[in-house]
Amino acid sequence: MPSPTVEPREAARTRGHATYTGRVLDEDGKPVRLAWVYVDEAIGRTDEAGKFALQAPADARELTVMAPGYRKLTRKIADPNLGDVSLTPFVAKAVYVSGIGDPDVYRRFMRLIEETELNAIVINVKNDDGKVWTSKVPLARQIGASYEDFHLQEFVRDMHRRGIYVIGRFTTFRDPTLATARPDMAVRDIRGGVWEDNKGHRWVDPFNKKVWRYFGDLLEEIAASGIDEIQFDYVRFPVDGDLSKVEYLTPSTRYNRPDTIEAFLRYASSRIRPHKVFISADTYGLTVWSEKEQGTGQVLERLAPYLDYYSPMIYPDHFAPGTGGYRIPSAHPYEIIYESVVRAKRRLRGDNVNTLVRPYLSAFPDTQYGQPFGLPQWLAQKRAAEDAGAHGWIYWDAALQYPDELFRKE
């Protein structure tokens, strides 16, 4: 009696694993390099020709493809030969919103996004005090860092029903809640106790691997909520305050600070990537203009391999006199933003880098030079960022006083 015929897919299953192959293309049919490719739990990246070959179980059921500048694609798998996969472009136009759990704030910004060009929102998933949305991470609950009445997963589902891309701002090493509850994890003061910066904020020690593990547990939980992107803020060493009184687990130098920040991002990426979430970070605007770490440990070229998007905070009034050749930088918002984006893009070129520039722009008054800085200047920043080739933008105003006119659809 002849053996029963086994279809190719079934034959692959009997061997336990299969090689899944395909090619990732953009909307014009051009290859997308360094895209993230997931076949169920297996992870790989595309080569310069947009091709991938990924070993995964023969009964894998789902393909996910992600690349900065595009929407995440997920589809069912019928055969290991996946063919050409086309991605849809996406450009985030976002605002930062704190206190989104407040019903009045929520209603106001849902209306703003619905009626304007905005399509994305930045919310705090770990705020400046170190507090997080409702968490099951034991340490977060022990130290009182978990808000028990805010559920991130429900919020993300709501945003996705509305077609809104959600970026979660994760305030990293500035963490007063953890530093106060666990002084063994804090930046210490050589005179005793926990060190505070010049605004009274407490930080945790970037050298401390216990801190890393706690953050990693939070990041996995946040990523599992279905959020689109996690953005690191304060992923740096403190630079404001009496640094002569600072004590770390390891003496801090201009050599080991960049090593430590890069190593942390590598570790954090390893905890986030399996959850199919984009990763970004923001830095001082000065980081774009200087190749030195300036005490923060942040060197752009060393951050980039772990990021999909880079968001320098290039607020014109935050630059020192003389930046770009301008005595008063905030009097030249278009020029400062344009040159900052161009510089960032230039520094993000590399064989293993696929990071897009999406800057933070100012929607608040000039706090340093006292220059007129309102709607005309805010709009000039957006125009400059787009002219310079930024891939989207995020507006920041801690007071949340964004005018509709700033985001009017053209």
pLDDT tens digits for range 167-199 = 999 999 999 999 999 999 999 999 999 999 999
- The pLDDT assigned to 352 comes to 82
Q: Could you tell me the two tokens for 123? A: 């919310």
- The pLDDT assigned to 15 comes to 56
For tokens 């984006």, what's the residue?
341
> 369-387 in b/e burial notation, b at 16+ Cβ within 10 A?
eebebeeebbbbbbebbbe
HSE on the CB side for 272, CA within 13 Å?
A: 29
- The pLDDT assigned to 274 comes to 97
d(CA 343, CA 165) in angstroms, rounded, equals 27
- Give percent of the chain with pLDDT exceeding 90: 93
- The pLDDT assigned to 410 comes to 75
Contact 356, 68 (CB under 8 A): yes
Q: Which residues, listed in sequence order, are joined to residue 394 by a DSSP beta bridge?
A: 94, 360
Q: Which residues contact 192 (CB under 8 A, 6 or more apart)?
A: none
Euclidean distance between the first and the last CA atom of the chain, given in angstroms as a whole number: 72
Q: Could you tell me the two tokens for 22? A: 């395909």
Tell me the three state secondary structure of residue 269. helix
Contact 72, 65 (CB under 8 A): yes
- The pLDDT assigned to 149 comes to 80
Name the stretches of the chain with pLDDT < 70.
1-15
Q: Which residues, listed in sequence order, are joined to residue 311 by a DSSP beta bridge?
A: 282
User: Does domain 8-86 sit in CATH 1.10.1370.40?
Assistant: no
Q: Could you tell me the two tokens for 174? A: 């500035």
Q: Could you tell me the two tokens for 251? A: 């003496």
Q: Which residues, listed in sequence order, are joined to residue 194 by a DSSP beta bridge?
A: 188
Q: Could you tell me the two tokens for 59? A: 């009964």
- The pLDDT assigned to 303 comes to 97
Domain residue limits, the chain: 8-86, 93-407
Apex 12 CA angle, 11 and 17, nearest 5: 145
What dotted CATH number matches 93-407?
Answer: 3.20.20.80
281-293 pLDDT, tens digit per residue, is 999 999 999 999 9
Closest CA relative to residue 35, chosen from 1, 85, 75, 77: 85
Kindly report the backbone phi and psi dihedral angles of residue 25, in degrees, each rounded to the nearest multiple of 5, phi listed first.
-125, 155
d(CA 90, CA 329) in angstroms, rounded, equals 31
- The pLDDT assigned to 282 comes to 98
CA–CA distances in Å: residue 249 to residues 50, 185, 204, 264: 44, 9, 11, 15
Tell me the three state secondary structure of residue 89. strand
pTM of the model: 0.95
CA 318 to chain centre: 21
- The pLDDT assigned to 387 comes to 98
